[in-house]
Structure 1
């Protein structure tokens, strides 16, 4: 961890059912683009890389588990600065998982007679969120101090039809035909979406102020997080990085991840460096056990 890091703790929900992937996506192998990387150590997973990237930048990471909790507890039980929180109602959706992670941090602050601080919300299926993104998110802490309640690493743009691109468009983006960071169609948008209006393109991780954290904790079960945050004072970091928008939640996206890494091998080298530095205490499950849970 960078000792000059000003980022807060990070919550990573990884409790879901992976229904769109058709198998447990968190333990899918990270698709190294060449054999040298693949043979550099044990088999690392998508979640391994996402955790290592967050641990490289944040003082503490809270991993919220559900499906496969026992496997994840054994795998990550000896990792420094990583706390595991089991969410038994994980089948009810991601909001409850985020609430479980934030509640853990709130109780931890209370135990030390301190107010709850800001928090990052990242995702276990977004392994391309690397150090280049976390470094730029340092600017978000200044925005929080100046009164912002939510900070998205995204941008505002003029667009006629904001929304998630089709599979064909996303495939073209990753292939370099229309780079994600340069075109007008992004995976996630919020805000005004009328024709020819300014739309906000939201990436992850998202930074929440202490007040926003408490608002999420207090939300009714099942309440979606984005509408909950919509009324809050939001600051947009104008960042252009494919990793902000690339969640690996379908078989097609998993295949596209390898294609992307073939074109951008520096991202894979960064990921390999992070896991080797941050996950020295990783306990590897047997291939048969992992495969059995995924099937």
Structure 2
């Protein structure tokens, strides 16, 4: 069983607006991200914190989606990663921040066909999202406090980079300028 974790708990401070609810391709940023992943997962856990009520309202009709509140969201993204991992029941999982609305289906298919413990897609050798990981490896995060962030954990465990023809794996929305560029490109 494959599951997904979408991180959507942050304050959106660089965007100066709640970016998960921004309109994109007739829906919202978070809906695009979730819908792209949902087709390949039995369940998708959306980890919320700041303005979780908005996320709950936006995603209320998505049967495969479970919205989980991270009470420690002000401690940063790593706390949301851990919150999501505690919910996993499957063998493998995808993980991506919720502000990546353009990850292509072909990327999910490519990653699903890999058997390594941790796989990261790359576009022109630049690492992107989603990370695809064995659940047993991910759960080690919950018991090993020697890491400050997911990147350090992944680097210590080792990962396989997989080149994809999907620029969407590196296109996120941190600022309103990035959002404007995405909306004019697509």
TM-score by length of 2: 0.91
In structure 2, the gaps of 5 or more residues are: none
CA distance in 2 between counterparts of 1:135 and 1:236 reads 15
Q: SS in structure 2 opposite 1:51?
A: helix
For 1:214, the equivalent position in structure 2 comes to 139
Note if 1:91 corresponds to 2:74: yes
Give 2:175's aligned residue: 250
Q: CA deviation at 1:216?
A: 2.1
User: Structure 1 residue aligned with 2:99, among 104, 121, 125?
Assistant: 125
Corresponding position: 1:24 with 2:18: yes
| Offset at residue 150 of structure 1 (A) | 1.2
Residue 240 of structure 1: CA displacement? 2.5
1:77 Cα deviation after fit: 2.9
SS in 2 for 1:231: helix
- Report deviation, 1:222: 7.8
Give the equivalent residue in structure 2 for 1:137: 111
Would you tell me which structure has more strand in proportion to its own residues?
A: 2
CA distance in 1, matches of 2:120, 2:84: 19
- Contact 2:8-2:98 at 8 Å conserved across structures: yes
State the Cα distance separating 1:221 from its structure 2 match: 9.2
- Residue 215 of structure 1: CA displacement? 2.1
Partner of 2:166: 241
Distance of aligned partners of 1:221 and 1:259 in 2 relative to their CA distance in 1, 3 Å threshold: farther
Measured after TM superposition, the shift of residue 219 of structure 1 is 4.1
- The unaligned stretches of length 5 or more in structure 1 are 1-6, 33-37, 39-43, 110-115, 155-180, 183-199, 262-295
Deviation string 1:185-222 (CA, Å, 9 cap, x unpaired) is: xxxxxxxxxxxxxxx63111001123321122224398
2:118 to 150, 154, 158: 150
CA deviations over 1:59-82 (Å, ceiling 9, x no partner): 210000101112222332332111
Structure number with larger C-alpha Rg: 1
Q: Distance in 1 between matches of 2:80 and 2:41?
A: 19
Normalising by structure 1, what TM-score?
Answer: 0.59
Which structure 2 residues correspond to residues 1-295 of structure 1 after superposition, within 5 A? 8-30=2-24, 32=25, 38=26, 44-105=27-88, 109=89, 117-140=91-114, 143-144=115-116, 149-154=117-122, 201-220=126-145, 223-261=148-186
